[in-house]
């Protein structure tokens, strides 16, 4: 009997593998191996992904098979293989692949509170169906056998990329059973779990199980207890429910018989839904917060120094404390400030993405702190007067359900107000503090004009009172707001502000910060996400936290 599998070694940053690949850091880990980001020293530091596996003697062939399968494939939804190192005498093997900046579909799903819009799920599923058509059309056909959220990367272009071919196999029609009974029970076809022969229809079951998982709030297909209509999201069309019911049949003969048939069935359903003007093709207004389920809220300073950035970071800290995934993005126009404020020179990971004013750059990898993805403007870059129109779409590709756009006082720059109105954001939040000497009549009139135009476009606007504290003229100050502020954020003592700036903390967590203003931030968060939506989000993340997921 072979010795027990050895633990996967940890590769230190700076180590050079194979005299060519310099390790940057670990970016993934599973039961069978670890994945590292590395720089290709022969190609000017081009980023690669190194999959390190510690194999048993009997698994050496399987590893080489995976490398050869990948090396022979070329498809937009697959990573290219660059190099591989067969198992050495210690059993360590390395597969070197094109680095695909992105998050797993499982991570994207979790950060969205276990609910992605049907249209977005269908887009990923269609891409995977096209890939299955390619794999099953090879000679011999390639059966993937492990379609699950953690094996699907969503890249910076919002493409679904399939990774980890560790248990893929070439279909052998003469075999009565598979050699290995591997797979993930929640997504594997019944015949695979029983050790019987698998074929293209087994992958179609996995496709259906993945669809069920994403549209049921994270349930496994084998946990079905009733009708799909009662178990899946209400916007899923009836025709897709019928198709899914076929895909999840225990009998392979009752499923669509190949991926091309599945692709054709989806296309027919789409044509029918288009003719009926079904919900999934409805184009939402900005207030519906339905751009692929992403809500974008812009935070503006009524005048320089009012505290929009600090307030945004406070709201971010509150959302993280409630387990809600979100992004904080500095509006990439004018002088960059967020990178320095958060001590980015020391704390921002290498290769992490900056806010891209062109809208064409990568959104991943992201600088992540707690539940926040941070995107400061590039302090070394040339900041335009305003971002390109494509920047609005870039914001929706960040893989989070909520984006806080820190505009601060940049709204006074030419063209920024017009950009905000056209970008499809859901809300504008103006911040004014208790030192309003710079709140001039001109700025008040300009802000009111922007608010009125935003209202005509269905964009919600509101006011935040910053640095609230007790002083004789407090009532007079609050009366200056055009509408009553929806939240009053308590003043943070100067020494705490200095400490957070010098440590890059962003916003103090103790009594001086979140503990004192937590209720005010919750009110603001509810308005940003919509009261009904925020209640669902808070409940979902609270439930997931209780379950330990």
- Per-residue pLDDT tens digits for 476-535: 999 999 999 999 999 999 888 898 989 998 898 777 677 788 899 999 999 998 854 555
Give, in degrees to the nearest 5, the angle at Cα 122 between 141 and 170.
10
Q: What's the pLDDT at 313?
A: 96
Nearest to residue 226, comparing CAs of 214, 240, 236, 216? 216
**pLDDT, position 336:** 92
Q: What is the mean pLDDT of residues 378-382?
A: 83
Exposed, middle or buried, 516 (CB in 10 Å: 0-12/13-18/19+)? Answer: middle
Which one, of 370, 363, 372, 367, lies nearest residue 402 by Cα?
372
Residue 154's DSSP bridge partners are 103, 160
| Structure-model confidence comparison of residues 21 and 189, the more confident one | 21
Whether the Cβ atoms of residue 48 and residue 56 lie closer than 8 Å to each other: no
Share of the chain above pLDDT 90, in %: 52
Residue 6: the pLDDT is 59
What's the pLDDT at 75? 93
Residues facing residue 432 across a β-bridge:
465
Query: Mean pLDDT of all residues in the chain?
Result: 85
pLDDT digits (tens, 9 = 90+) for 71-80: 888 999 999 8
Residue 422 in this model has a pLDDT that exceeds 80: yes
The pLDDT, as a whole number, for residue 292 is 65
Q: Pick from 60, 40, 58, 63: which is nearest to 50 by CA?
A: 40
Segment 213-225 mean pLDDT: 90
Question: Contact at 8 Å (CB) between 189 and 254?
Answer: no
Helical segments of 196-288, H only? 200-215, 228-231, 238-247, 259-276
- What pLDDT is attached to residue 531? 53
Residue 276, pLDDT score: 53
Domain boundaries defined on the chain: 16-98, 102-281, 294-547
The CATH fold of domain 102-281? Transferase(Phosphotransferase); domain 1 (1.10.510)
Higher-confidence residue: 156 or 231? 231
Measured from the Cβ of residue 14, the count of other Cβ atoms closer than 10 Å reads 9
Same fold, 16-98 and 102-281: no
> CA-to-CA distance for 403 and 357, rounded, in angstroms?
15
Going across the sheet that includes 160-162, the strands are 102-104, 152-155, 160-162
Q: For residues 54 and 7, what is the distance between their CA atoms, to the nearest angstrom?
A: 7
Q: Of 248, 74, 54, 21, nearest to 166 (Cα)?
A: 54
Query: What's the number of CA atoms in the CB half-sphere (13 Å) around residue 177?
Result: 9
Which token pair is 332? 């990439």
CB burial of 489-513 (b: ≥16 within 10 Å; e: otherwise) equals: bbbbeeebbeebeeebbbbbeeebb
Contact 100, 49 (CB under 8 A): yes
Residue 85 clears pLDDT 80, i.e. is over it: yes
State yes or no: cis peptide before 211, omega within 30 of 0.
Answer: no
Radius of gyration of the chain (CA): 26
Q: What gap in Å lies between CA 211 and CA 225, rounded to an integer?
A: 16
Confidence class for position 286, pLDDT limits 50, 70, 90? very low
Cβ-in-10-Å burial (0-12, 13-18, 19+) of 40 comes to middle
Question: How would residue 168 be classed by pLDDT, with cut points 50, 70 and 90?
Answer: very low
The residue ranking higher by pLDDT, 421 or 479, is 479
Which of 337-346, 356-365, 398-407 has the lowest average pLDDT? 356-365
Partnered with residue 16 across adjacent β-strands are 22
Measured CA to CA, the distance from residue 155 to residue 364 in angstroms comes to: 8
Query: Which pTM does this prediction carry?
Result: 0.79
Q: Answer for the pair 63, 165: CB distance below 8 angstroms, yes or no.
A: no
Q: What is the mean pLDDT of residues 218-244?
A: 90
Nearest to 256 by CA among 188, 204, 196: 204
Cβ atoms 461, 298 nearer than 8 A: no
Mean pLDDT score, 392-407: 92
The C-alpha angle 372, 373, 375, rounded to 5 degrees, equals: 130
Query: Any known ligand binding at 51?
Result: yes
The candidate with the shortest Cα–Cα distance to 404, out of 337, 334, 331, 475, is 331
Q: What is the pLDDT of residue 90?
A: 76
Which residues are registered as beta bridge partners of 300? Answer: 408, 430
Token pair in block for residue 155: 């890249």
pLDDT for 16-69, tens place per residue?
999 999 999 888 876 567 889 999 999 999 999 998 887 666 666 766 776 777
Question: Which value, to the nearest 10 degrees, does the dihedral of the CA atoms of residues 6, 30, 350, 405 take?
Answer: -160
Task: Write down the CATH number for the domain with range 16-98.
Answer: 3.30.200.20
What is the C-alpha to C-alpha distance for residues 387 and 413, in angstroms, rounded to an integer?
11
289, 426 contact by CB (below 8 A): yes
Which tens digit of pLDDT belongs to each residue from 245-284?
999 999 999 999 999 999 999 998 887 665 554 443 333 3
CA 161 to CA 149: how far, in whole Å?
Answer: 11
Rounded CA separation 442/436 (Å): 13
Residues with a known catalytic role: 146
DSSP 8-state code for residue 177: B
Cβ-based neighbours of 195, under 8 Å, separated by 6 or more = 177, 178, 181
Please tell me the predicted confidence (pLDDT) of residue 175: 43
Query: Three-state DSSP class for 540?
Result: helix
How far is residue 393's CA from residue 400's CA, in Å, rounded to a whole number?
Answer: 13
**Domain spanning 294-547, CATH class:** alpha beta
**Three-state DSSP state, 462:** strand
333-342, 472-481, 535-544: which range is least confident on average?
535-544
């Amino acid at each position: 009997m072979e010795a027990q599998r050895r633990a996967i070694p940890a590769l230190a940053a700076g180590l050079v593998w194979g005299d060519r690949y310099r390790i940057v850091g670990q970016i993934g880990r599973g039961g069978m191996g670890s994945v590292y980001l590395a720089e290709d020293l022969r190609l000017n530091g081009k980023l690669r992904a190194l999959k390190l596996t510690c194999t048993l003697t009997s698994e050496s062939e399987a590893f080489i098979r995976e490398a050869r399968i990948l090396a022979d494939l070329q498809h937009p939804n697959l990573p290219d293989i660059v190099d591989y190192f067969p198992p050495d005498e210690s059993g360590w093997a390395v597969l070197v692949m094109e680095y695909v900046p992105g998050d797993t579909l499982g991570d994207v799903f979790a950060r969205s509170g276990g609910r992605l819009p049907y249209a977005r799920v269908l887009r990923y599923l269609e891409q995977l169906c096209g890939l299955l058509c390619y794999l099953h059309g090879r000679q011999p056909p390639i059966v993937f056998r492990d379609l699950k959220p953690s094996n699907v990367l969503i890249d910076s272009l919002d493409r679904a990329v399939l990774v980890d071919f560790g248990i893929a196999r070439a279909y052998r029609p003469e075999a009565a059973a598979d050699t290995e009974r591997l797979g993930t029970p929640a997504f594997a076809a019944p015949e695979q779990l029983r050790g019987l022969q698998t074929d293209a229809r087994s992958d179609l079951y996995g496709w259906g199980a993945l669809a069920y998982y994403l549209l049921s709030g994270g349930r496994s297909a084998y946990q079905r207890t009733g009708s799909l209509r009662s178990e899946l999201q209400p916007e899923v069309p009836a025709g897709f429910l019928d198709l899914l019911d076929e895909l999840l049949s225990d009998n392979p003969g009752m499923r669509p018989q190949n991926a091309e048939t599945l692709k054709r069935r989806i296309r027919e359903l789409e044509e029918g839904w288009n003719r009926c003007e079904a919900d999934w093709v409805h184009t939402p207004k900005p207030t519906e917060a339905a751009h692929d389920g992403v809500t974008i809220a812009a935070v503006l300073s009524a005048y320089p120094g009012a505290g929009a950035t600090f307030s945004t970071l406070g709201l971010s800290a509150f959302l993280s404390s409630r387990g809600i995934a979100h992004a904080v993005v500095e509006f990439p126009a004018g002088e960059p400030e967020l990178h320095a404020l958060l001590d980015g020179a020391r704390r921002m990971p290498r290769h992490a993405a900056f806010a891209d004013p062109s809208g064409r750059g990568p959104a991943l990898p992201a600088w992540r702190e707690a539940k926040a993805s941070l995107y400061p403007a590039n302090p070394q870059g040339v900041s335009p007067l305003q971002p390109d129109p494509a920047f609005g779409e870039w914001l929706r590709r960040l893989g989070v359900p909520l984006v806080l756009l820190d505009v601060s006082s940049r709204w006074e720059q030419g063209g920024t107000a017009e950009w905000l109105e056209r970008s499809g954001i859901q809300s504008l939040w103006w911040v004014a503090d208790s030192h309003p000497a710079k709140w001039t009549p001109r700025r008040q009139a300009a802000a009111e004009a922007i608010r009125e135009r935003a209202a005509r476009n269905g964009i919600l606007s509101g006011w935040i009172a910053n640095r609230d504290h007790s002083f004789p003229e407090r009532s007079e100050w609050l009366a200056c707001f055009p509408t009553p502020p929806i939240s009053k954020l308590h003043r943070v003592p100067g020494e705490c502000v200095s400490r957070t700036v010098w440590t890059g903390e962003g916003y103090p967590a103790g009594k001086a910060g979140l503990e004192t203003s937590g209720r005010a931030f919750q009110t603001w968060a509810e308005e940003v996400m919509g009261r009904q939506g925020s209640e669902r989000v808070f409940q979902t993340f609270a439930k997931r936290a209780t379950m330990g997921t």
